[in-house]
């Protein structure tokens, strides 16, 4: 199947995510999207870490909403959720962090990623309004099927937020078409079956599948799960519009006692991936 030649155009009033992919395309580059759990390892670390990752080459930031039962995540990110939850970090705190980040950076898109429960507790309309004011650009809720997401997507759209959805290796074409109708921002392609951090990444097989998904949607297609280093990031970026890395960064963050060392180590890993992707 022939891959569509996407053109991510932008206008002066374009949303941050649209503008980001239009810029990347104009520069002939692919996006790098790091994920970290908000509040891990300490609430004071998150905003400086976000800025450090942008300086190291991140194009979009995915910020995890702490949750007590992150069933789709592997042990590394699950522990990050536990550390954040144990310090009382809530969705409201995450929005405060994004507000603080926006004081210095009003360009880099921020997508929240997590589970429905915290959003439901806040209230869907309340969340959408407060998230938009804070400077959030999108939300991905891993436990909300796109076929039944109107209750969440509609208030988000009214507030100008994008709803990001997952496509997996075994998602049928008919469902991909349906996801494309309700999704915004970008499609998150899960490169492997299983939880975050799982091994067994076959970059050739993923690239073929990504090419197929791209032929079915005008949205950027970004690949996550299983990307651990510059080599895997560079390999997948040849086909994908962006690569998403989480477990490797969260693991790096947890391996340093001093916050400054942790931030520097994560930034160095992001920079290494950025360099590999730009070669």
Q: How many CA atoms lie within 13 A of 226 on its CB side?
A: 19
Contact 137, 108 (CB under 8 A): no
CA distance 21 to 27: 10
Q: Quote the distance between the C-alpha of residue 174 and its chain's center.
A: 24
β partners of residue 37? 64
174 is catalytic: no
Q: Is 254 exposed, middle or buried (CB count within 10 Å of its CB: 0-12, 13-18, 19+)?
A: middle
Q: Is 201 exposed, middle or buried (CB count within 10 Å of its CB: 0-12, 13-18, 19+)?
A: middle
CA distance 245 to 209: 18
Active-site hit among 18, 40, 59, 73: 73
Tokens of 141: 């809720």
Q: Is 236 exposed, middle or buried (CB count within 10 Å of its CB: 0-12, 13-18, 19+)?
A: buried
Residue 46, φ and ψ in degrees, nearest 5: -60, -50
Active-site hit among 18, 40, 59, 62: 62
73 is catalytic: yes
Q: Just list the catalytic residues.
A: 62, 73
């Amino acid at each position: 199947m022939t891959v569509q030649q996407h053109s991510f155009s932008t206008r002066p009033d374009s949303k941050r995510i649209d503008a980001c992919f239009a810029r990347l395309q104009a520069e002939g580059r692919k996006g790098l999207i790091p994920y970290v759990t908000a509040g891990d390892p300490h609430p004071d670390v998150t905003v400086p870490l976000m800025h450090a990752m942008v300086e190291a080459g991140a194009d979009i930031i995915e910020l995890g909403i702490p949750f007590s039962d992150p069933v789709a995540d592997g042990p590394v990110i699950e522990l990050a959720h536990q550390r954040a939850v144990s310090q009382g970090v809530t969705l409201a705190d995450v929005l405060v962090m994004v507000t603080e980040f926006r004081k210095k950076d009003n360009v880099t898109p921020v997508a929240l990623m997590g589970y429905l429960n915290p959003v439901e507790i806040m209230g869907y309309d309340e969340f959408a309004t407060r998230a938009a004011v804070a400077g959030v650009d999108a939300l991905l809720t891993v436990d909300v099927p796109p076929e039944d997401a109107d209750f969440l997507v509609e208030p988000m759209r009214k507030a100008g937020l994008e709803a990001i959805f997952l496509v997996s290796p075994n998602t049928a074409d008919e469902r991909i078409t349906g996801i494309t109708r309700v999704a915004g921002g970008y499609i998150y392609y899960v490169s492997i079956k299983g939880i975050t951090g799982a091994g067994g990444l076959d970059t050739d097989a993923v690239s073929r599948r990504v090419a197929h998904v791209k032929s079915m949607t005008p949205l950027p297609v970004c690949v996550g799960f299983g990307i651990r280093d510059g080599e895997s990031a560079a390999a997948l970026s040849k086909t994908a519009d962006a690569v998403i890395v989480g477990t490797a960064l969260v693991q790096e963050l947890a391996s340093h006692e001093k916050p400054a060392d942790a931030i520097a180590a994560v930034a160095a890993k992001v920079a290494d991936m950025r360099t590999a992707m730009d070669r």
